[in-house]
């Protein structure tokens, strides 16, 4: 039976701005929000703390089963410890994309992601929200931007946080992350055929949010 609780799936590559856009759409609609990337970041952090290598699929997946993960507003808790800042480092972004290649880990995280689908609706942000996790989502958006624009955004974001940033390093890191996300066998980053492409090189955040809201209202009226 089709699930009556609507999901807006927003997928796309690193630093495309989908996290910001997805959260604003969720706030506008009063929907729940799933930051699925945070789950992979948490697994990267937790396994590192336990000295489990990120490329060890069976140990990473087995350990992930026992983790207690909680989201409260903007805060993220791992086994009751606040890891909101710790998971946001560039290193954990890299670790997340390394553990995310394991099909066994993706299977472990599936039920947890489904549990976010609660009334009145969900905005889910990630790489495989529309393709794998919520294939029946009534609205799927593939939000992207050129690699250069995304590197520029990430660079500004790091400077804004007073972190040392080097544009060339960020660009290279994004290219490697894209290649890993698109090239993996398990749930690669792809644009589902029923998704709408939203190219944001020349689009403000509020224009991207308005586009998605408009498409959503249009779908719901049908
Ligand atoms: O902030 P950024 O877009 O770089 O990363 P994120 O959305 O927090 O995701 C970090 C990594 O987790 C990505 O590079 C992906 O490899 C992985 N990921 C995934 O495989 N599937 C998802 N649904 C979300 C993230």
CA of 113 to the centre of ligand 1 (A): 14
Q: Are 181 and 98 in contact (CB under 8 A)?
A: no
- pTM, whole model, 2 decimals? 0.94
The CB of 15 under 6 Å from ligand 1? The reply is yes
CA 151/CA 104 separation, integer angstroms: 31
CA of 93 to the centre of ligand 1 (A): 7
pLDDT of the residue at 2: 60
The CB of 13 under 6 Å from ligand 1? The reply is no
pLDDT of the residue at 165: 87
Question: What are the domain boundaries of the chain?
Answer: 2-209
CA of 40 to the centre of ligand 1 (A): 7
pLDDT of the residue at 32: 96
Cβ-based neighbours of 160, under 8 Å, separated by 6 or more: none
Write the DSSP string, 52-121.
--TT-HHHHHHHHHT--EEEETTEEEETTEE-TTGGGSHHHHHHHHHHTT-HHHHHHHHHHHHTT--TT-
Q: Are 16 and 143 in contact (CB under 8 A)?
A: yes
- Local structure of residue 195 (DSSP, 8 states): P
The atom number, within ligand 1, closest to the CA of 101 reads: 20
The atom number, within ligand 1, closest to the CA of 125 reads: 23
Q: Whose CA is nearest to atom 15 of ligand 1?
A: 97
CA of 139 to the centre of ligand 1 (A): 20
CATH topology of domain 2-209: Rossmann fold (3.40.50)
The atom number, within ligand 1, closest to the CA of 113 reads: 23
The CB of 128 under 6 Å from ligand 1? The reply is yes
Mutation choice for ligand 1 from 14, 17, 37, CB with most ligand atoms inside 8 A: 37
CA 199/CA 51 separation, integer angstroms: 39
**Rounded CA Rg of the chain:** 17
Q: What is the mean pLDDT of each run of 10 residues along the chain (222 residues)?
A: 85 93 97 96 97 98 95 92 93 93 96 96 97 96 96 92 89 91 90 95 96 95 78
Q: Whose CA is nearest to atom 7 of ligand 1?
A: 37
């Amino acid at each position: 039976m089709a699930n009556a609780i609507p999901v807006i799936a927003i997928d796309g590559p690193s630093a495309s701005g989908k996290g910001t856009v997805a959260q604003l759409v969720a706030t506008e609609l009063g929907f729940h929000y799933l930051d699925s990337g945070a789950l992979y970041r948490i697994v990267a952090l937790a396994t590192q703390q336990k000295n489990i290598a990120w490329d060890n699929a069976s140990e990473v997946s087995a350990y992930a089963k026992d983790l207690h993960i909680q989201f409260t507003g903007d805060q993220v808790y791992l086994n009751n410890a606040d890891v909101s800042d710790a998971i946001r480092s560039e290193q954990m972004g890299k670790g997340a994309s390394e553990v995310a290649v394991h099909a066994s880990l993706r299977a472990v995280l599936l039920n947890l992601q489904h549990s976010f689908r609660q009334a009145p609706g969900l905005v889910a942000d990630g790489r495989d929200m529309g393709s794998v996790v919520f294939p029946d989502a009534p609205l799927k958006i593939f939000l992207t931007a050129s690699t250069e624009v995304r590197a520029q955004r990430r660079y500004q974001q790091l400077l804004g946080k007073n972190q040392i940033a080097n544009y060339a390093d960020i660009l290279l890191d994004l290219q490697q992350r894209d290649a890993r996300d698109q090239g993996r066998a398990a749930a690669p980053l792809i644009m589902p055929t029923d998704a709408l492409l939203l190219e944001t090189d020349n689009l403000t955040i509020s224009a991207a949010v308005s586009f998605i809201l408009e498409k959503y209202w249009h779908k719901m009226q049908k």
